[in-house]
Amino acid sequence: MKYERIPYLVMFDEVSAFKDTYAGEIGKVVIECHLLKPEVASDSVVIFSHPIGGGQYLPLVGTLAKMGMPTIYCNPRYRGNDTALIMERAAMDLGACVRDAKERLGYKKVYLGGWSGGGSLSMFYQAEAQDPRVTHTPAGDPYDLTAAGLIPADGVMLLAAHLSRNLTLTEWMDPSIEDESRPFERNPEWDIYAPDGPRPPFSAEFVAEFRERQIARNRRITRWVKEQLAELKAKGLDNHERCFTVQGTMADPRWVDPAIDANDRQPNHCMLGDPFVVNDGPVGLARFTTLRSWLSQWSYDDSNADGLKCAARLKCPMLVIENSADDACTPSHAGRLMAAATNCPQEHHVIKGANHYYFGQADLARQAAELVCDWIARQG
């Protein structure tokens, strides 16, 4: 089926103590959206979003439109750059897109397409729309989602979705870094990439302690972040920031030992390529960040967008599609999210052989899209 791609903007006013995105008019937020509108009209729409956007041309998005499902991709204000990203603001941006889809475009039913990192954003948004609680960011800055009037979606889809940015980062952190001021001096006992480091297969005991050390490292960074913010505020510099780098953020034992959280993925490979290279490369999670962004996005204990905590608050239909060769979101992610979402009617499917993006797998993207369209048809 043919469809029309319609780029458009959603704009709204927002008062902020300081600017955290480059360029643009101060006090104005601009959301870039793409509506993929099929020839046949529908009163339902799927809205995809992601904290840093950029997915408007992904295979699944276009395939849904080809099958007659109106689809919107919403790029939040942080499109392409999560250095200073605040999850609370990303949720507000998604809310503006949902409202526009309902009130201007006239769609009666909205379903959130939570693909990859968009899964936790969708759950965070839906949790705050159904059960609003957040009035401040984890850094203590006022940002009142309880007064935002967020419109709940009619259902949430977790499509090759990971747990959330804070939990996934923690599972990928390199625990061989024990001093953030000397990140390239690493403890070979825990360096899975070191020539003299541990080798797979890893024992359950090794993995358990590895995970504890990853959490401990995340918490060490969080303590330092909070100390830095407190120092700034003590000097009366309430709106000032500090930028920093975090090395070693792609050292999950799963990437070198495919028997851990097993699926059909390739060994020694992750969605960004060679995990040994990505571990310190420029595209690793949280490589460049700020104090406030760390607490909102990446802090194991402090992020309001923790996927498991948000899933537990949801009360809406949920579709979960898992890709069996996913090299980013392994089976335990879908399993843990479904276990947490105890108040949601759930449906779960596995696309055999599918990679994370459906790149080069048009037939498998269509299989996933068929499941989405069928599920939506049965909701209403």
Domain chopping of the chain, boundaries: 3-164+303-377, 168-298
* Nearest-10 crossing angle of helices 362-377, 59-66: 60
Residue 21 CA to residue 122 CA, distance in Å, equals 22
- The model's pTM is 0.97
Amino acid 128: pLDDT: 98
Share above pLDDT 70 across residues of the chain, in percent, rounded to a whole number: 100
Band the pLDDT of 17: cuts 50, 70, 90.
confident
**In sequence order, what are the residues at sequence separation of 6 or more whose Cβ sits closer than 8 angstroms to the Cβ of residue 203?**
none
Residues 77, 181: Cα–Cα separation, whole Å: 31
DSSP secondary structure code for residue 299 in this structure: -
Measured CA distances, 358 to 11, 13, 18, 133 (Å): 32, 37, 39, 36
| Fold entry, domain 3-164+303-377 | Rossmann fold (3.40.50)
The pLDDT tens digits for 196-215 are 999 999 999 999 999 999 99
Q: pLDDT at position 299, please? A: 98
Q: Average the pLDDT over 236-261 and give the result.
A: 97
Residue 23 has pLDDT above 80, yes or no: no
Closest C-alpha among 172, 136, 131, 176 to residue 150: 131
What pLDDT is attached to residue 20?
A: 87
Q: Which two tokens stand for residue 242?
A: 């500090």
Distance of CA 222 to the CA centre of its chain: 19
Residue 334's pLDDT is: 97
CA distance 123 to 65: 23
**pLDDT tens readout for residues 175-198:** 999 999 999 999 999 999 999 999
